[in-house]
Amino acid sequence: MYWSYLTSLPLGVFNGLSSLQTLELSNNRLSSLSEGVFSGLSALQFLQLHHNALLNLPSNVFDGLSSLQQLYVHNNVLSTLGPNTFKGLASLQNLDLSYNQLSTLPPDSFNGSSSLQTLSLFSNKITNISSDAFRGLPGLKYLGLFDNQLSSLSEGVFSGLSGLQILSLYNNRVTSLPSNAFSGLSVLQELDLNNNQISDISLSAFNGLSGLKTLNLNSNQLSSLPSNAFFGLSALQQLQLDGNRISSISMDAFDGLSALEELHMSFNQLQTVLSSNFNGLSALKLLDIQNNQISSISSGAFNGLTALTSLSLNGNKLTSIPAGVFDGLQYLESLILSSNQLECISSNAFASLLFLNLEELYLSYNQLTSLPLGVFNGLSKLVTLTLSNNHVKELPAGVFNGLSSLKFLNLGHNELESLPLNLFDGLTSLEQVTLEWNQ
């Protein structure tokens, strides 16, 4: 019946089909379903009703479908759900109600669907979720509520979803996270709150999320991170805070995040990096603070980040790299300092004891006019070095000495007029040298 443009289904149309397992009614023009229209289809497992014009689903419309596992009703014009719409669907595992016109989820919206594992409610117009809307769904693993119009989350609204692993709430209008907003979600692994309007995180907002591994708070309106902002997230591995308005980080903001491996804070409004900003992040491997307004970094700011392998500082306002700024980063493999306002680099900024494992160093698009002799000493594992789009006028002989692993060297778009003899001596691994657009 695919693409057949049915407008109605008379009662009894499926009589005698007791062995039917799959019924596809999608891409028609059905605007209503009569109660009992599917009676007798006790073996049905797969029902497609998407891309029709259904306005509502009567109570008990799916009575008798005790074997149904997959139900797709997305891309209709449903505005409400009856109290017993899904009653009796004890075998239902996947329910897709996305791309409809639902505005509220009343209590017990999914009563009778105790086996449900995946529930898609995204791209509706939901503004309110009753506190008991998800009651009776202990096996639910995925809940998609993104692209709706939620402005708040009631305390305990997700309680009872003890098996939930992924909760997607991005592209809503949530302004704050109250205490215990996610209580009961002890096995939740991914929480996506990207592109909301969150400006405040209450203490204990993440209570109970002891198993959470990924938290996405990108593109919100956070201006600061208070102490213990992420309290209780002891298993968190990835924290995304890109595209907020964060200008300050409290000393204990990341307290308790001992398992965190990735911290993304690009496109915020940080002006300085203090020695206390990243306290306690001993497992951190990636720190991305590019495209802020950072003009200064305190000595020892990255102390304690002993596992860090990637640091992105590009797109800031740094004018110099003082000695000691990168103390303690002995396992760092990639350092990105491009697109700053660097005018000078101290000769021991990248001292060998600090960067024994450094493989990538990006210094392009700065204001460098010279490179001190010895600045790259000890970087024996360096593979990529970019110095393009600066104002370097001359290079001291021996400036690249010891870079025996270097493969890619970019000196393009500078103001070099000549190169010293033997500049590339010892660079036995070199595969590509770029010297275009010099003077």
CA distance 134 to 156: 11
pLDDT at 290 over 60: yes
Tell me which amino acid residue 381 is: K
Within a domain: residue 290?
yes
Q: Does the pLDDT value for residue 43 go beyond 90? A: yes
User: How many angstroms separate the CA atoms of 75 and 54, rounded?
Assistant: 9
> What mean pLDDT comes out for the span 388-417?
97
Residues with Cβ within 8 Å of residue 167, at least 6 apart in sequence: 143, 145, 158, 182, 185, 188, 190, 191, 192
- Furthest CA-CA distance within the chain: 92
Tell whether 255 is covered by a domain.
no
pLDDT of residue 50: 98
What pLDDT shows up at residue 351? 77
Give pLDDT, residue 356: 85
Find the mean pLDDT for residues 361-389.
96
If you average pLDDT over residues 373-399, what whole number do you get?
A: 96
* Residue found by looking up tokens 């308790």 in the block: 256
Taking phi first (over 0 means left), then psi (-120 to 50 degrees means alpha), and beta for anything else, what does residue 102 get? beta
Q: Report the mean per-residue pLDDT for the chain.
A: 94
Domain assignment present for residue 353? The answer is: yes
- pLDDT, mean of residues 70-84: 94
Number of domains in the chain: 1
Of the pLDDT bands very low, low, confident and very high (cuts 50, 70, 90), residue 83 is: confident
Q: Which of 234-243, 274-283, 428-437 has the lowest mean pLDDT?
A: 274-283
d(CA 249, CA 130): 35
- Give the up-direction half-sphere exposure of residue 404: CA atoms within 13 A in the CB hemisphere: 3
Q: Has residue 2 got a pLDDT over 80?
A: no
Number of residues that this document lists for the chain: 439
A 10 A CB-CB count for 418 gives 10
Secondary structure (DSSP) of 232-262: T-TT--EEE-TTS---EE-TTTTTT-TT--E
- Is there a domain that residue 154 lies in? no
Q: What is the pLDDT of residues 107-149, one digit of tens each?
A: 999 988 999 999 999 999 999 999 899 999 999 999 999 999 9
Contacts of 313 (CB under 8 A, 6+ apart): 289, 290, 294, 335, 336, 337, 340
Average pLDDT over residues 331-360: 89
Nearest Cα residue to 140 out of 177, 101, 194, 86: 86
What is the gyration radius of the CA atoms in the chain, in angstroms?
A: 29
Q: Is the pLDDT of residue 378 over 70?
A: yes
- Strands 70-72 and 334-336: what pairing? unpaired
- Amino acid in position 324: G
Residue 291's pLDDT band, with cuts at 50, 70 and 90, is very high
Question: pLDDT tens across 150-195, in order?
Answer: 999 988 899 889 999 999 999 999 999 988 999 999 999 999 999 9
**Is 70 among the domain residues?**
no
* Domain contains 185: no
345 lies in which domain range?
270-438
Work out the pLDDT band at 299, boundaries 50, 70, 90.
confident
Whether residue 352 has pLDDT greater than 70: no
- Cβ atoms 363, 409 nearer than 8 A: no
Contact between 221 and 246 (Cβ < 8 Å)? no
The answer, yes or no, to whether residue 206 has pLDDT greater than 90, is yes
Q: Is residue 181 part of a domain?
A: no
Answer whether residue 258 is part of any domain: no
Q: Distance between CA atoms of 106 and 127, rounded to whole angstroms?
A: 11
Q: For residues 376 and 403, is the Cβ–Cβ distance under 8 A?
A: yes
Distances (CA, A) of 38 to 63, 119, 171: 7, 22, 36
Q: Residue 309: which CATH number?
A: 3.80.10.10
| Pick from 44-48, 74-78, 94-98, 206-210: least confident | 206-210
Across 166-199, b (16+ Cβ under 10 Å) vs e yields bbbbbbbebbbbbebbbbbbeebbbbbbbbbebe
| pLDDT surpasses 80 at 1 | no
Q: What is the pLDDT of residue 3?
A: 52
